[in-house]
Structure 1
Amino acid sequence: MTNERVAVVTGGASGIGRQTALKFARKGDQVVVADFNEEAGNKTVELIKAEGGEAIFVKTDVSKFEDVESLVEKAVDTFGRIDVMFNNAGIGRITPVLDQDLDDYHSVINVNQHGVAHGIIAAGRKMRELGIKGVIINTASVFGFLASPGTFAYHATKGAVIMMTKSAALELAAYGIRVVAVAPGAVDTPIIQGYKDSGQLDSMKAKVMGNKLTQPEQIADTVYLVSLEEASAINGSVVMADEGYASFK
């Protein structure tokens, strides 16, 4: 196995994050798995090592800039560089807007929005310092474009991720650093449980090819593809990985 790059994946303990960490490792990249869930994050590292890959786990609360900054430093201290930053950590809750608990609202904002901002800033600074023409990839969502009941805070964060991606891409292009967002639709991850509980899942599935949930592995494939040098023309863009969800009424 040839180790070509170093990829940092937040939210790497499960779902899209775990599958993306595995994808990078299978392609020969060294991986830094970051998550607040230490047990599950270490499990991702075990899965990578079982396949012959190289990875470490760093417990990280992405809502705290000092944690994300420390994560980036740990990646460089361990592997010597950082080429890919995948800002993927996210949470979501289904709550009618007028019943919104403000503590819950702020927790979603802090993880999904501020966590991405922290990743962009910390990784971008380190890439600039090291002269690395890297790529920062952010997990957006079809819900950055489309409304659905009960996800007021989640919509706010994913709309912010889209515009932060565009804004950062504009400025970081001067350093040869790309910033891209990937927008999944209905993906079979733990975060989808709220839609199952609210009864919205069937209507979501009815809008996509095959009337099924997208698998996390499919999103991982998309993230990996946009990380490649061959995708260097993709910058400041939101790559839809939603099986047509946002295209159908």
Structure 2
Amino acid sequence: MLKGKRVVVTGGASGIGAAIVARCVRSGAAAVHVADVDAKGLEERLSEVKGTTKLYPKSLDLTDRTALAEWLLAADEKTGGFDVVFNNAGVMSGADTLLATPVDAMARVIDVNLMAVMIGTRIAVECMSSRGISGAIVNTASTAAFNPMPADPAYAASKAAVVSFTESCAPLAELHGIRVVAVCPGVTDTAIIPYEAAWLKPVLAAIDFLTPDEVVDVMEEMLAQSAPPSFIRVDNRAKVDRGVDH
């Protein structure tokens, strides 16, 4: 479903974003515009990806709304539009309780996880509809959208809002032929996970991690559907040694 497509990816230096970029290249995408705040990490990761896909990296802080908008509009101009947008970048607050979470950290979570998704979707719809492109927008949410997360309420709230926002964009499919969907993965083996956090260790001991590629598999499945659901959960499997079947 990605062959010949012009694609946009945020958070492409690692984790799910890097897996999306690699999948695009393996699938023969025409071009990938990929942004990340980690310029060095992005450069290193893209140097490992081999293929004929044209890669356009961008060092970008998604909390800078003007810079985000300018990048998307420039990407649209450079490749004559884009077909698929992955609003994927995400962060956690880094704290383990609400009272331990600085207000600035909460604001950053909302800016990256929610505002950048909404802005990315808004501008992508504008660009696609102006060119008559029946494209797709895939927003990375989380199962935290459905489960209480006392250690990082801002993260859970941001992902719940992404799901609600995505569902509210469903009419765009009929109005403009643009599908807006969300994938809600469980705990995935990426750099965003605070592996040493005391509150998380019991959780990690009880489940098997998802891999970034497993999440991208689900994204591709959704892209292959002409009328996909607004969101899909990708839950973790319980560890066998806990006596629970997969």
Q: TM-score, normalised by structure 2?
A: 0.88
- Residue 36 of structure 1 corresponds to 37
Corresponding residue SS for 1:190: coil
C-alpha deviation, 1:108, in angstroms: 0.8
RMSD: 2.0
The answer to whether the 8 A contact 1:84-1:135 is kept is: yes
Instruction: Label 1:139 to 1:3 Cα distance change in 2 as closer, same or farther (>3 A).
Output: closer
C-alpha deviation, 1:67, in angstroms: 2.0
Structure 2: segments with no counterpart, 5+ residues: 239-244
C-alpha separation in 1, matches of 2:46 and 2:78: 15
C-alpha deviation, 1:25, in angstroms: 1.5
Q: Does 1:222 align with 2:223?
A: no
C-alpha deviation, 1:171, in angstroms: 3.9
C-alpha deviation, 1:9, in angstroms: 0.5
C-alpha deviation, 1:173, in angstroms: 3.2
Describe the superposition over 1:128-167 as per-residue Cα deviations: whole angstroms up to 9, x where unpaired.
1111000111011000000123111101100100011011
C-alpha deviation, 1:71, in angstroms: 2.1
C-alpha deviation, 1:83, in angstroms: 0.5
Corresponding residue SS for 1:19: helix
C-alpha separation in 2, matches of 1:169 and 1:44: 34
C-alpha deviation, 1:120, in angstroms: 0.6
- Residue 70 of structure 1 corresponds to 70
The answer to whether the 8 A contact 1:94-1:198 is kept is: no
Instruction: Label 1:243 to 1:95 Cα distance change in 2 as closer, same or farther (>3 A).
Output: closer
C-alpha deviation, 1:20, in angstroms: 0.7
The answer to whether the 8 A contact 1:23-1:224 is kept is: no
Describe the superposition over 1:51-101 as per-residue Cα deviations: whole angstroms up to 9, x where unpaired.
343211022222233222222223223322211110011100233112321
Q: TM-score, normalised by structure 1?
A: 0.87
Name the amino acid aligned to 1:233. A
- Residue 233 of structure 1 corresponds to 227
- Residue 235 of structure 2 corresponds to 242
The answer to whether the 8 A contact 2:95-2:101 is kept is: no
- Residue 175 of structure 1 corresponds to 176
Name the amino acid aligned to 1:232. S
C-alpha deviation, 1:204, in angstroms: 4.1
Describe the superposition over 1:217-242 as per-residue Cα deviations: whole angstroms up to 9, x where unpaired.
111222222223xx11114x111122
Corresponding residue SS for 1:169: coil
Name the amino acid aligned to 2:223. S
Name the amino acid aligned to 2:222. V
Structure 1: segments with no counterpart, 5+ residues: none
C-alpha separation in 2, matches of 1:242 and 1:161: 17
C-alpha separation in 2, matches of 1:197 and 1:191: 12
C-alpha separation in 1, matches of 2:237 and 2:176: 34
- Residue 111 of structure 1 corresponds to 112
Corresponding residue SS for 1:157: helix
